[in-house]
Amino acid sequence: MNNYKSFLDSLENSIKLTGRNISEIELIAVSKKKPSSEIQRVIDDGHISFGENQVQEIERKWLDLKSKNTKIKLHFIGSIQSRKVEFIYKNCDVIHSIDRMKVVKLFSEFEKTHSVKRQYFIQINTGNESQKSGVLFNDSEKFINDCISDSHLNIIGLMCLPPIDEDPRIHFLKLRDLAKNFNLNSLSMGMSSDYQVALECGATHIRIGTHIFGERN
């Protein structure tokens, strides 16, 4: 059975259990290192919102896929290197992982130069983990405020990756409450292992790989 279609059924049931509507949720199919042929099958099933976390995967697959499938919305969900900002800006529609002011300024410059607006999430390191990307939770309020007031980017919400050894609900609720403080309505949180909890906590964008494309090779 098609993984994508069977997951849609599971997702719809999960959303109903939370009392929410499926129209409130954007499902981002995260293809990572899967081949273009597998991604195209999901596109052919009617899906348009996809995510990648590596620039080289976008170069390898998505330049061609987007040229053939013009309605695709591509989300960048990985850590952002300064020297890759221009490529990400030109080829991705939504960026989920803003976490440094240098990167914010670079995106702002490209928007001024090219007059094309993107949508952005600020990645928050809710667990204050030293090895992980994202704005440290302790620094998050100042960073968000600076982004909103100074950058002129379209900051639509916050994103997080909870620590793998902690209850994700704690981190999803921290992110939700932080977003409310700034009237940010979008929450990018929840993956294959914890998307149901994320939906209960108010996720608007869930990033699903394994349940759609299977285990990574």
Could you tell me the CATH number of the domain that includes residue 121? 3.20.20.10
Confidence (pTM): 0.96
73 C-beta neighbours (distance < 10 Å), count: 16
User: Domain tally for the chain?
Assistant: 1
Q: What percent of the chain has pLDDT over 90?
A: 94
Three-state DSSP class for residue 126: coil
pLDDT of residue 217: 63
Dist CA 172 CA 160 (whole Å): 8
Residue span of the structural domain in which 76 resides: 3-213
Note the pLDDT tens digit of each residue in 68-123: 999 999 999 999 999 999 999 999 999 999 999 999 999 999 999 999 999 999 99
Q: Average per-residue pLDDT in the chain?
A: 95
Structure tokens at 3: 């993984």
Long-range contacts of range 46-49, CB-CB < 8 Å, 24 or more positions apart?
A: 47/4, 48/72, 48/73, 49/73, 49/75
What per-residue confidence (pLDDT) applies to 1? Answer: 41
Q: What is the pLDDT of residue 214?
A: 85
Express each pLDDT in 14-43 by its tens digit. 999 999 999 999 999 999 889 999 999 999
- Residue with tokens 């929450």, as numbered in its chain: 187
| Chain CA centroid to CA 92, Å | 11
Q: What is the pLDDT of residue 174?
A: 98
Residue 71 CB neighbours (<10 A): 8
User: 116-149, pLDDT tens digit by residue?
Assistant: 999 999 999 999 998 999 999 999 999 999 999 9
Average pLDDT over every residue of 37-55 = 96
57 pLDDT exceeds 80? Answer: yes
Phi-psi region of 19 (alpha: psi -120 to 50; beta: other; left: phi over 0): left
> Distance between CA atoms of 158 and 174, rounded to whole angstroms?
11
Tokens 């081949």 — which residue?
Answer: 35
